[in-house]
Amino acid sequence: MTVAVIQFGGSNCDRDTVRALDALGIDAELVWHEDGLPEATEGIVLPGGFSYGDYLRAGAMAARSPIMEEVREAVAAGTPLLGICNGAQVGCEASLTPGVFTINRSARFQCEHVFLRVENADTPWTEQYEEGEVVEFPIAHGEGRFEIEDDRLDRLEAEDRVLFRYCDEDGNVTDEANPNGSKHNIAGIAGEDDHVAVMMPHPERVSLSDIGTTDGQGVLQAFR
Amino acid sequence: MNTYSATVTVRLKSGVLDPEAETTKRALERLGFELDALRSVDQFELELPAESESAAAETVTEMAERLLANPTLHDYDVTVERR
């Protein structure tokens, strides 16, 4: 599988993502957004960063760039897509997933490790984990608070499309363990179909054993 | 074609947390001001050609729908006048 990691102006986790995928034996390449999706694309990552300086709203500009039409078509044809951090903001702004990631409750940029509880282990992104398992991922965002209308939140939860929630070390989903004020502690969700997912925490930053833990590998293995 | 001026005002829906406005309110209070509430809005001032005022309003509304506002978070108002 060739995974296209799309670089927008201001993306900055693109190379990390390619390296993390390479380390898992998954073929990945950087794709500059103006060059369009390569023919051989079998997976897509919208990486982290600060595309277009977070102008207007984080992800708003990249979500409306021409390559996103190709991304939409590829996703509709079944190509798996993962949006990480700024890529998650782009995914929501592009309506690939519902809701929006907006300014943290603290009004501050937060860069820290958090615990996540795996809510649904029956998706390509989470099948390497057990339901209820607690994993540790880093976050690094100023706009990571998940907001969504109540009726759409009900539907998202009823359809079991919440992948990860912020929790404490023991897996308790509490307000104290919610780093950014996200509705119902939501850290990552799937789209209408579970081959699309977005998440604010960074799996690619916990995928290389040389630099720490490898809890994030399970998410990236969806591209195998 | 005439030229129209338009203003799009984008506000958070009621009930949506506004951490930046809260921070700004606290800063005003630290400066000694007394206030009960503070809301922040984004306002966009546009100039555009259109056949009529209603056509201009329609175009600007579409701009708000497609980019300037996010319907999950925002309500918006559009005003248009001929220049």
Q: What digits encode the pLDDT tens for the residues A53-87?
A: 999 999 999 999 999 999 999 999 999 999 999 99
A99-115 pLDDT, tens digit per residue, is: 999 999 999 999 999 99
Q: What ranges do the domains of chain A cover?
A: 2-223
Told to judge if A92 belongs to the known catalytic residues of this protein, a careful annotator would answer no
Contact A104, B19 (CB under 8 A): yes
The closest of A69, A65, A10, A57 to A33, measured between CA atoms, is A65
Residue A53 — left, alpha, or beta (φ > 0 → left; ψ -120 to 50 → alpha)? left
User: Residue A104: which of B19, B67, B70 has the nearest Cβ?
Assistant: B19
Q: Per residue of chain B (83 residues), give pLDDT as tens.
A: 999 999 999 999 999 999 999 999 999 999 999 999 999 999 999 999 999 999 999 999 999 999 999 999 999 999 999 98
Residues of chain A found within 8 Å of residue B66, distances taken between Cβ atoms: 64
Nearest C-alpha of chain B: how many angstroms from A100?
7
Decide if B66 and A104 are in contact by the 8 Å CB cutoff: no
User: How far does Cα B57 stand from its chain's mean position?
Assistant: 14
Told to judge if A202 belongs to the known catalytic residues of this protein, a careful annotator would answer yes
Told to judge if A85 belongs to the known catalytic residues of this protein, a careful annotator would answer yes
Contact A100, A93 (CB under 8 A): yes
Q: Which residue of A lies nearest to B43 if distances are taken between CA atoms?
A: A56
| pLDDT band at A212; cut points 50, 70, 90 | confident
What is the full DSSP assignment across A133-165? -EEEEEEEESS-EEE--HHHHHHHHHTT-EEEE
Residue A221 main-chain phi, psi, to 5 deg: -65, -10
Residue B71 main-chain phi, psi, to 5 deg: -60, -20
Spatial CB neighbours of A24, under 8 Å, sequence gap ≥ 6: A207, A217, A220, A221, A224
Q: Which residue of B lies nearest to A181 if distances are taken between CA atoms?
A: B17
Domain residues for B31? 2-82
Query: How many independent structural domains does chain B possess?
Result: 1
What is the percent of chain B where pLDDT is above 70?
100
B31-53 pLDDT, tens digit per residue, is: 999 999 999 999 999 999 999 99
Which pLDDT belongs to residue A211? 86
Residue A155 main-chain phi, psi, to 5 deg: -70, -40
State the average pLDDT over residues A183-187: 98
Decide if B17 and A149 are in contact by the 8 Å CB cutoff: no
User: How far does Cα A213 stand from its chain's mean position?
Assistant: 18
Q: Which residue of B lies nearest to A61 if distances are taken between CA atoms?
A: B67
A167-179 pLDDT, tens digit per residue, is: 999 999 999 999 9
CATH of the domain at B67: 3.30.1280.10
ipTM confidence score = 0.92
Which pLDDT belongs to residue A16? 97
CATH code linked to domain A2-223: 3.40.50.880
pTM exceeding the 0.80 threshold for the entire prediction = yes
